[in-house]
A and B are shown apart, each in its own frame.
Chain A
Amino acid sequence: EAGVVQSPRYKIIEKKQPVAFWCNPISGHNTLYWYRQNLGQGPELLIRYENEEAVDDSQLPKDRFSAERLKGVDSTLKIQPAELGDSAVYLCASSLSNQPQHFGDGTRLSIL
């Protein structure tokens, strides 16, 4: 079974530039999560989707972050404009409803 696939693996951009991350969840998993993990910290939830609906986005900084999961499968997370403090690893996870979550390798974002 293929795991959660994320791309790109690494991204380096200058501040104020836009950036987007892509996630393909495990086939059949209806729930998709985006987490952010800062250096030396555990992951923190940004947004959760049930199929194509964002059901928990309370921790998503909505002034610059946006996400979508148009067909209830793949998802993209966008930051525009990026700030220095956005440097982190962005992890996508998926699950079948409230079953254990499986994580992708993450996208490591560096802002110059």
Chain B
Amino acid sequence: RKEVEQDPGPFNVPEGATVAFNCTYSNSASQSFFWYRQDCRKEPKLLMSVYSSGNEDGRFTAQLNRASQYISLLIRDSKLSDSATYLCVVKGSGYALNFGKGTSLLVTP
């Protein structure tokens, strides 16, 4: 079983819609959690860190449930430019980032 599991996707949503991505992780000792965004043929870029208290950055809200080992990302009022692959990332006490497979989002006019 992979350490980080994500919704298979793809998600096709109209502009303005709200979309949610889910992710689970298997290592209860994991310490840091992130969402990365990866555009087609580009490198992954850090979108936001995820904290137990939940955190928001504009239209993006990330939440972490340590008891359930579950991470989510909510995007409100989707824009065409939000179309990308969203990677759930978990980090232990070391340096290595453990990536999920990614969930593809396509926002349509």
Contact = CB atoms under 8 A, between A and B. Distances in A.
Contacts of A31: 95
Chain B interface size range: 10 to 19
Chain A interface size range: 20 to 34
Given A42-B4, A42-B87, A56-B94, A100 B46 contact: yes
B101 A48 contact: no
B43 A91 contact: yes
Contact of B101 (A40, A91, A95, A106): A40
A103 B44 CA distance: 7
Contacts of B87: 42
A103 B45 contact: yes
Contacts of A56: 94-96
Interface centre among A33, A42, A43, A105 (most CB of B within 10 A): A42
Interface of B: 4, 41-46, 87, 89, 94-97, 99-102
